[in-house]
A and B are shown apart, each in its own frame.
Chain A
């Protein structure tokens, strides 16, 4: 029973059957794993940054004579990270996946279903720990020149570490879903994750701009700050497992390490078993809450008057796209957050630090302020259009309904144009945010005009590129809406293309500057160039849509 449940759960969680069917049976898109590998290689520089980050912290602690606190701090960060992100992951997996109710009719206990589903979450959290926190512990091992027993202990530690925070997060999630019976309001829970991310980013920004950062200007003061206030003692008090992990890694089995192992296992394993046992009382009740009845309001008596007037198919397709996006909370919040996250990151810390007026004065004193504002504004518009996920998920968002769209007597070119127009709505929103920021820092009419023209053209181009990417690599078999809107590798591919296009435009502008071409001519010719590119993209997209709509199967 357990084996069958776990096997099915893992196949669903990691899309094993889907991928096997795609790459091994139907042999479609076999270049996609290679693309994934390429992306992983592109992440290597990111990995070296993480190593440098940990090395800096280690050196600071070592200077303060507190090197042993390093694994405790790293483990504590890992435990907290798994708890926060695991909470939303668990809610998505247990309650909002399309197949979440599939097991209700099976002769299995809620605890068995819960346990099987949680194994997928557990594996993902172990992988996350391996990516983010393992480098820290490796840095510690190298720096302290620790032997084989340390590295041998790392693997079981990484595997067991998520059990306690995931168990606590699961109990919290089940408790929350047990008491919130209104399914409609629950849909917002699905989308809270990105907001939490934004809060973390803003908090980090505030920290950087605040006095605390002054203490972290070099590794020595960092070490003093981390230890002088008893931070390690505080962590040990509130998160004893972090201390146990620190000890079991550092100390030999006979010299305190064994006791630490016993404590670590003695808390983690019962926590996991306890969560599974609790699932028998909490899981199904929360899953079923609010599912009875129609859940909708009664239709108005005069509904016949709402039968609309005739309109163009393109308009109808656009309205359909609009409603599908705006009425799916996960889609909408991700799109809006994608637009707002960077402006917030720039401006909120400025307000928090109270140096806004001085920063603006410094900016205005620059001789090239206009150019800086225009090009940075255009760059921001193009970048945010790409990363908000609207264009790069435009096909994927349809999911199963893509088959219905294919059966409609509207050409693929028109259908894709409606998606492009919807993406442009968000580009206009981005333009509004950017222009407002330019006005705040004293940008004149000239700046606003060129930002508007160049930004619209660049944004339209990026939206078109996003749709091309999604046409080539659609994901229609998603289980939760977040999978569709976040885009996965498509988002990364988009960023890479953005970098290439930005590099090309920068090169052209640089050459014109070098040739002493007047600024207005540079802006004008760049605008014409972007318009030409967009026209070519429009024609190409229509053709590509015709080809891909025939080939993409649901």
Chain B
């Protein structure tokens, strides 16, 4: 499977299909039993540090280091991704304000709600403006305003020529946002392609025009 530069790629599948496991392998958290994974042309297995530098990652149920404050965590991530001082001084306040986190940014992450942890993880993943932005169920826990901001940022990221790869259960989001989709079932890809291709049956085992929901159900049931 290849995700092209500059596209928004949606990763769909029922619970337990292997979406998070795949994402963990792409981000270097899990070691694949076989096969190759390249991020922006760099092998995550042979050159893990170099490949990880190209990724901004938001894990499923984000739970950053609880004993750091939000701001300490963002500074930490900026150091880890070696973001220059001028750039971080501009980007961190900009993102913090955009997600409405100013009043709690000095508090310990331990005291954050689930949505706040999600937002701080989103900001941290974007400080170094990665060529590949990987998000695992990013809408979970976000309020409608933050969710709208995130969708807007995903589109903007793609427009800059960078890649967005995300898993989701929200089919409307995938339908509206994704350039291409992949549907996973029991660890295997059952369909890949543009939504129109899938609908016309050229991307998988689907015969006629259907909504994404019906496609999803047909491909993942039975």
CA distance A452 to B181 in the complex (A): 62
CA distance A104 to B65 in the complex (A): 26
Shortest Cβ distance from residue A189 to the other chain B in the assembled complex, whole angstroms: 17
Of B29, B30, B49, B108, most A-chain CB atoms within 10 Å: B29
Interface string of A296-307 (1 = CB under 8 A from B): 111110011011
Residue numbers in B under 8 Å from A551 (CB-CB): 31
Q: A-B contact count, CB below 8 Å?
A: 114
CA distance A324 to B72 in the complex (A): 12
Report yes or no: B80 in contact with A316, Cβ–Cβ below 8 A.
yes
> Considering only CB atoms, which chain B residue lies closest to A403 in the complex?
B29
Shortest Cβ distance from residue B118 to the other chain A in the assembled complex, whole angstroms: 14
Of A323, A403, A407, most B-chain CB atoms within 10 Å: A407
Report yes or no: A297 in contact with B106, Cβ–Cβ below 8 A.
yes
Which of B71, B80, B89 sits near A313, CB closer than 8 Å? Answer: B80
| A211 is an interface residue with CB less than 8 A from chain B | no
| B92 is an interface residue with CB less than 8 A from chain A | yes
> Considering only CB atoms, which chain B residue lies closest to A550 in the complex?
B31
Report yes or no: B67 in contact with A315, Cβ–Cβ below 8 A.
no
Residue numbers in A under 8 Å from B52 (CB-CB): 407-409
Report yes or no: B49 in contact with A324, Cβ–Cβ below 8 A.
no
Residue numbers in B under 8 Å from A312 (CB-CB): 79
Report yes or no: B103 in contact with A299, Cβ–Cβ below 8 A.
yes
Residue numbers in A under 8 Å from B29 (CB-CB): 403, 406-407, 554
Shortest Cβ distance from residue B67 to the other chain A in the assembled complex, whole angstroms: 4
| B93 is an interface residue with CB less than 8 A from chain A | yes
CA distance A400 to B59 in the complex (A): 12
| A516 is an interface residue with CB less than 8 A from chain B | no
Q: Knowing A316-B79, A409-B80, say if A297 contacts B107 (CB, 8 Å).
A: yes
Report yes or no: B80 in contact with A410, Cβ–Cβ below 8 A.
yes
Shortest Cβ distance from residue A314 to the other chain B in the assembled complex, whole angstroms: 9
Q: Which of A403-427 contact B (CB under 8 A)?
A: 403-404, 406-411
| A309 is an interface residue with CB less than 8 A from chain B | yes
Report yes or no: A308 in contact with B28, Cβ–Cβ below 8 A.
no
| B84 is an interface residue with CB less than 8 A from chain A | yes
Report yes or no: A294 in contact with B88, Cβ–Cβ below 8 A.
no
| B3 is an interface residue with CB less than 8 A from chain A | no
Interface string of A269-307 (1 = CB under 8 A from B): 000000000000000000000000011111110011011
CA distance A316 to B73 in the complex (A): 10
Residue numbers in B under 8 Å from A306 (CB-CB): 71, 75, 106
CA distance A313 to B85 in the complex (A): 14
| A539 is an interface residue with CB less than 8 A from chain B | no
> Considering only CB atoms, which chain B residue lies closest to A296 in the complex?
B107
Shortest Cβ distance from residue A186 to the other chain B in the assembled complex, whole angstroms: 13
Report yes or no: A303 in contact with B71, Cβ–Cβ below 8 A.
yes
Q: Which of B81-107 contact A (CB under 8 A)?
A: 81-85, 88-89, 92-93, 102-107
| B27 is an interface residue with CB less than 8 A from chain A | yes
Report yes or no: A307 in contact with B89, Cβ–Cβ below 8 A.
yes
Shortest Cβ distance from residue B81 to the other chain A in the assembled complex, whole angstroms: 7
CA distance A403 to B62 in the complex (A): 11
Residue numbers in A under 8 Å from B106 (CB-CB): 296-300, 303, 306
Q: Knowing A401-B64, A409-B53, A550-B31, say if A310 contacts B105 (CB, 8 Å).
A: no
Residue numbers in A under 8 Å from B27 (CB-CB): 407
Q: Knowing A323-B72, A410-B49, say if A310 contacts B63 (CB, 8 Å).
A: no
Report yes or no: B111 in contact with A311, Cβ–Cβ below 8 A.
no
Q: Which of A311-348 contact B (CB under 8 A)?
A: 311-313, 315-317, 319-320, 323-324, 327-328
Report yes or no: B71 in contact with A320, Cβ–Cβ below 8 A.
no
Shortest Cβ distance from residue B218 to the other chain A in the assembled complex, whole angstroms: 33
Which of A296, A299, A316, A411 sits near B49, CB closer than 8 Å? Answer: A411
Interface string of B48-66 (1 = CB under 8 A from A): 1111110101010001111
Report yes or no: A407 in contact with B28, Cβ–Cβ below 8 A.
yes
Shortest Cβ distance from residue B86 to the other chain A in the assembled complex, whole angstroms: 9
Q: Which of A515-554 contact B (CB under 8 A)?
A: 550-551, 553-554
Residue numbers in A under 8 Å from B76 (CB-CB): 316, 319-320
Report yes or no: A311 in contact with B79, Cβ–Cβ below 8 A.
yes
> Considering only CB atoms, which chain B residue lies closest to A554 in the complex?
B29
> Considering only CB atoms, which chain B residue lies closest to A315 in the complex?
B79
| B68 is an interface residue with CB less than 8 A from chain A | yes
Shortest Cβ distance from residue A28 to the other chain B in the assembled complex, whole angstroms: 14
Shortest Cβ distance from residue B60 to the other chain A in the assembled complex, whole angstroms: 10
Residue numbers in A under 8 Å from B80 (CB-CB): 313, 316-317, 408-410
A-B contact pairs, 26 of them (CB 8 A): A294-B107, A295-B111, A296-B104, A300-B106, A303-B106, A304-B93, A306-B106, A307-B75, A307-B92, A308-B79, A308-B85, A310-B78, A320-B68, A320-B76, A323-B67, A327-B108, A328-B67, A404-B59, A406-B28, A407-B27, A407-B52, A407-B59, A409-B50, A409-B80, A410-B49, A411-B48
Extra inter-chain contacts (5) besides given A299-B104, A310-B79, CB under 8 Å? A296-B104, A308-B78, A316-B79, A409-B50, A411-B48
Can you list the 7 inter-chain pairs with the closest CB atoms, starting with the nearest? A299-B106, A316-B79, A296-B107, A409-B52, A327-B67, A409-B53, A308-B75
